[in-house]
Chain A
Amino acid sequence: MSQPFISRFYRTDVIISIVLIALAAWVYWYAGFLITENSKPISAHTFPRALAVMLGSSSLLLLLLSFSQHVETPSVSSHRISGLSPNLFVILMLITLVVYTVLLPISGYIITSLIMIVLWLWLLGKRHIGELIGFSVGVVMFVYVLFQSILNVPLP
C-alpha cells in the first residue's frame, strides 16, 4: 500500500520541523545583512529576525510534540490512479503544471491549454477521444472568450 510521498516517512513532522528550524536560522543570518550603519534599533531587519526566532521556537516545540501525542497526524489515501501511486501521480501533476507554465509564453494560451487539458483528462482516466477533444476545446474557448473578449484581460 503506497501513500502520498511525504506520508511515507514515519513521523514526517520531525523532518518538517527540522527543515523549518534550518529556515529560521537562515532567515536570522540573512536579516543581519539588512543592518546598515544608518539602521535604527527597529529597522528593516527587525521583523524578519523576530519572526525567525518565533519560527525557530515554535518549530522546536512542534518537534518535541511530534514525539508525544499532542500533534494530530492525518490518514492518507492509498489507492492508485491510472496505474500510478498517489505520490507519483501528484509529482507527475506538478511536473505537468511546470511544463504548462514554461510552454505558455512560448506557444500561447490556446495550443498549450488544449494539450494540457487533454493530458490531464487522460491522466485522470478519460480515454474517449471525442470527449477528450470536445471537452478541452469547449473549456479553452470559454475561458478565452470570457477573459480576452468580454473582460479584455489579455492571456499569454
Chain B
Amino acid sequence: MENILHGFAVAFQLMPLMLVIIGVLLGILLGAMPGLTATMGVTLLLPFTLQLNVSPEAGMAMLIGIYIGAIYGGSISAVLICTPGTPAAAATLLDGYPMTKNGEAGRAITLSTCSSFAGGLTSALILMFLSPQLSTFALKFSSPEYFALAVFGLSMIVSISGNNVIKGIVAGIFGLLLATVGLDPIQGVPRFSFDQPELFEGIGFIPALIGLFAISQVLYEMVQPQSGNRPPPSLAFSFTQVKEWFQYKFTWIRSALIGTFIGSLPGAGCDIAAFVSYNEAKRFSKNPEKLGNGAPEGIIAAEAANNGATGGAMIPMLTLGVPGDAVTAVMLGALTVQGLEPGPLLFRDHPETVYPIFASLIIANFVMITGGFFTARMLSRVVLIDKKLLMPIILLLSIVGAYAIRFSMFDVWVAIFMGAVGYVMKIRSFPTSPIVLALILGPMAESNFRRAMLLPDAELSIFFTRPIACTMMILSIITLSAGLWSTFHNPPQKNN
C-alpha cells in the first residue's frame, strides 16, 4: 500500500501530470486519424520524452497517455465515418457506424467513451494488484494454445457476418489467403510475392483496413442518393446515455476482463481482444441478431476490451520483460534506455518507478474520459458536414494514411485495390469484417500451428490434449456449428 501511495504522489506531480494530459489528448487526435496508430504515436514521441530530460516516470506517463488516448481515439473515426483510426477499433465500427447512420452519433460516442474508460481502468487495477499471478498463467500459453486462440478468434466470423454466414466464411478464407502473401513465418520462403520486394513483408494490414472500410465506404456513399428521410444526427450528450451504458454492466465488466487477459498474452493485442469480446457479447446477448445493426452491446464490448488490453499488454512487459503488443515493445525500449531492466526484478529493485507507472495508467484513463467527452463532441461534428465535402476529405486522409505507415506508395496501391474489392463486396452483401479478422489472426494461426507441429512427438491431437487449447477448440466448434445451423434453418430472403 505504501508503494501505491508513493506511486500516486509521484504521478500527481506537475510534470508527470501535465505530460500524461498532453499525451492523452495527442493520442486521441492521432488515433482518430486513419493510418496513424498508437504504435506510431508512441514511437514518434519517444525521442521527445528523452529530450525533455524528465524523470523516467514522467516520460513513461506521456507514452502511456498516448497509448490510452490513441486506442480510444480510433473508435471516434470508426463510429463517425466508418473508418477505424486504429486496427483496435475495427470491431467498434460494426455497431458504431450503423448507430451513427441512425442519427445517434452522440449516443455511440458516449457508449464508446464510457466503455473505453471502464476497460482501461479495470485493466490498470488488475495490473496494479494481480499482474504477477496473471503473467504466470499467461506463461502457460505456448504454440498449441496460441493456435487454438487464433482458431477461436476466426470462428467468430459467423458472428460478424450477419445474415451472410456463407459469404462471411468465403470472405474470411480469402482474407486468410491474403495473409499468406510474403515470407512464410518459419522457413522464410517467399509466397505469392512474384519477386516484388514490397510483397515480402506481406499485404499491409492497415492499408487493407483503410481500403476495405474507408475507400469502399466513400465509393458506396457517393452513389447513394442524399437521404431525405434520414434522421438528423444527434450529437447531444445526456446522463441518460451514461445510465444506459451502466445497464450493460455485465457486458463491459466481462469485456474488460477478456481484454485484460488477451492483452496480457504476448503477441495478442487490442484488435484480437476487441473481436473476441464482441463475439462473447453476441453469445451472451438476449438479442444477438441486433449486433451488427447498431446495438449498444457491440460498441461496449469492443471498446471495453480494446482499452482493457492496454493495461493487459503492460503486464508481461513489466513482469516478464516481454512486450504484450507493438506499443509495449516500444515502451520496453523506453524503459531500457532509462537504464531499467523490465522483468521480475523490476518490482523488487525499482518500485519507485513501477508504481508511478501504474498510477499514471489510472490517471490517463480519467483524463481520457474527460478529454474524450470534449474532443469527441467536437470531432463528432464531422457528421454534420455536407457529404459532398466530407467524402474528398476521407479519400485524401485514406491515401495519406496508407502512405504514412511505411512511407510506401505500394501501400497506397494496396489500399485502392482493397477499396475496389470492398466496394464490390459491399454491393453484393459480402461482409468485409471477416477479411480484417483473417488478416489479424491468419499469421498467428499459421506460425503457431507450424511451431506446434515442430514440438517433439507432435500430432494434430495436441490441440485436444492440452486443457486450455482443447477448451478453445471446443468453443470454436460450437460457435461455427451454431452459426451454420442458424444459417440453414433461417435462410434470408432475396431482395431482387
Contacts and interface: CB of A to CB of B under 8 A. Distances in A.
B427 A76 contact: yes
A100 B44 contact: no
16 contacts: A7-B428, A12-B428, A20-B174, A51-B180, A54-B173, A72-B492, A72-B494, A72-B495, A74-B495, A75-B495, A75-B496, A97-B416, A113-B396, A116-B396, A117-B392, A156-B409
Contacts, number: 175
A69 B423 contact: no
B493 A69 contact: yes
A152 B44 contact: yes
Contacts of A151: 30, 36, 44
A120 B395 CA distance: 9
Given A72-B163, A72-B164, A125-B388, 6 more contacts: A58-B170, A74-B428, A74-B429, A97-B215, A104-B399, A151-B44
Nearest to B177: A51
A90 B223 contact: yes
Contacts of A4: 223, 427
B166 interface: yes
B176 interface: yes
Contacts of A71: 164, 166-167, 429, 492, 494
Interface in B170-218: 170, 173-174, 176-177, 180, 184, 186-187, 189, 191-192, 215
A104 B427 CA distance: 30
B456 interface: no
Interface in B11-57: 30, 33, 36, 40, 44
Contact of A156 (B403, B449, B450, B493): B403
Contacts of B44: 151-153
Given A62-B167, A147-B404, A70 B409 contact: no
Nearest to A35: B189
Contact of A143 (B177, B397, B407, B493): B397
Contacts of B428: 6-7, 12-13, 16, 73-74
A7 B430 CA distance: 13
A7 B427 contact: yes
B450 A139 contact: no
A47 B181 CA distance: 11
Contacts of A59: 170
B400 interface: yes
Contacts of A22: none
A62 B170 CA distance: 8
6 closest residue pairs by CB, A with B: A86-B223, A72-B492, A44-B189, A44-B184, A120-B392, A124-B388
B85 to A, nearest CB: 14
Interface in A3-55: 4, 6-7, 12-13, 16, 20, 27, 30-31, 34, 36, 42-44, 46-48, 51-52, 54-55
B446 interface: yes
B400 A155 contact: yes
Nearest to A79: B225
A155 B412 CA distance: 12
Nearest to A124: B388
Given A43-B187, A97-B419, A135 B429 contact: no
A54 B174 CA distance: 10
A30 B388 contact: no
Q: Which of B164, B169, B392, B487 has the most CB of A within 10 A?
A: B392
A133 interface: no
Interface in A48-102: 48, 51-52, 54-55, 58-59, 61-62, 65, 68-77, 79, 81, 86, 89-90, 93-94, 97-98, 100-101
A139 B393 contact: yes
A61 B459 CA distance: 30
A81 B220 CA distance: 12
Contacts of A108: none
Interface string A97-121: 1101100110001000100110011
Contacts of A109: 400
Nearest to B225: A79
A85 B427 CA distance: 15
A130 interface: no
B424 interface: yes
Contacts of A44: 184, 186-187, 189, 191
B378 interface: no
Contacts of B33: 146
A86 B427 CA distance: 12
Contact of A94 (B169, B393, B416, B430): B416
Contacts of A121: 388-389, 392
B238 interface: no
A106 B169 CA distance: 41
Interface string B307-335: 00000000000000000000000000000
B293 to A, nearest CB: 14
A72 B429 contact: yes
Contacts of A101: 399, 409, 412-413, 416
Contacts of B419: 94, 97
B491 interface: yes
A143 B225 CA distance: 29
A86 B404 CA distance: 31
A55 B173 contact: yes
B429 A73 contact: yes
A93 B219 contact: yes
